[in-house]
Amino acid sequence: GPRDALGAYIAKPETYPSSVVVYHNTDFVAIHDMFPKSSLHLLLLPRDSSKTRLHPFDAFEDAEFLTKVKAEVRKLRTHAAAELRRKYGKDSEQERARQEALIADPPPDELPAGRDWEKEIVCGVHAVPSMNHLHVHVIAVDRYSERLKHRKHYNSFSTPFFVPIDDFPLALDDVRRHPTQEGYLKRDFVCWRCGEGFGNKFVQLKEHLKQEFEEWKRL
Ligand code: 5GP
Ligand code: ZN
């Protein structure tokens, strides 16, 4: 069924164009999310057949496996950061200052640092995944996408329903083990960037996300 759709990438990554499969190796396949909820939304799929059908909370109980996944997530995040720099870097103040310093005569003693795009990427899993194959989201923080169409789409990346990979292993009494009970997806909207509340007003939230996106990408 549709919940098994990620299995095809794991089985035959070499059959997809680079616009779909970012890279693949023996243990992982990195892909573009088909319904991106941000300006850049990637998925890391572990290929280990003993893990791919498990809930992430169970799969990440295996410390050795978790260490491997974390290392690959860092790699994909670096890749994603480079992609963001290519997309938005030339617009940013810091990036411009760096470019100017690079061509200055005489050159400055120290180059201004470029923007750290890795900070603009979050990596983690949904407390209740909808797709059956184990996957880690590697997603730009902007939450700016036409595909972000419902309350669930926003809140699943903007509440504790989204569990950062570095929070694993989870404690046994971690409340995120009971996401439905906590009602994360039904919460009022809160802007990821400025913290403004939007109640249940999705249209207003979407307009605000567009404004925030324009500022964020140029910062
Ligand atoms: P989940 O909610 O299970 O953590 O996230 C599953 C993700 O898979 C969603 O972000 C969804 O957009 C994405 N997705 C669903 N079907 C497909 C597909 O066939 N191909 C790709 N590349 N992504 C998919
Ligand atoms: Zn805001």
Tens digits of residue pLDDT in 154-184:
999 999 999 999 999 999 999 999 999 889 9
Tens digits of residue pLDDT in 99-120:
888 888 888 888 878 889 999 9
- For residue 79, give the H/E element and its range: helix 63-88
- Token code pair at residue 10: 């794991």
Whose atoms come closest to the Cα of 185: which ligand?
A: 1
Task: List the catalytic residues.
Answer: 135
Distance from Cα 106 to the centre of ligand 1, integer Å: 51
CATH fold label, 2-218: HIT family, subunit A (3.30.428)
Cα separation of 133 and 5, whole Å?
8
Distance from Cα 3 to the centre of ligand 1, integer Å: 8
Task: Count the neighbouring beta carbons within 10 Å of the beta carbon of residue 141.
Answer: 20
pLDDT, average across residues 78-97: 88
**What is the band of 85 on the pLDDT scale with cuts at 50, 70, 90?**
very high
Q: What is the pLDDT of residue 5?
A: 98
Residue 177 backbone dihedrals phi, psi, to 5 degrees: -70, -10
Q: What is the pLDDT of residue 199?
A: 98
Q: Which amino acid is at 25?
A: N
Rg (the chain; Cα; Å): 19
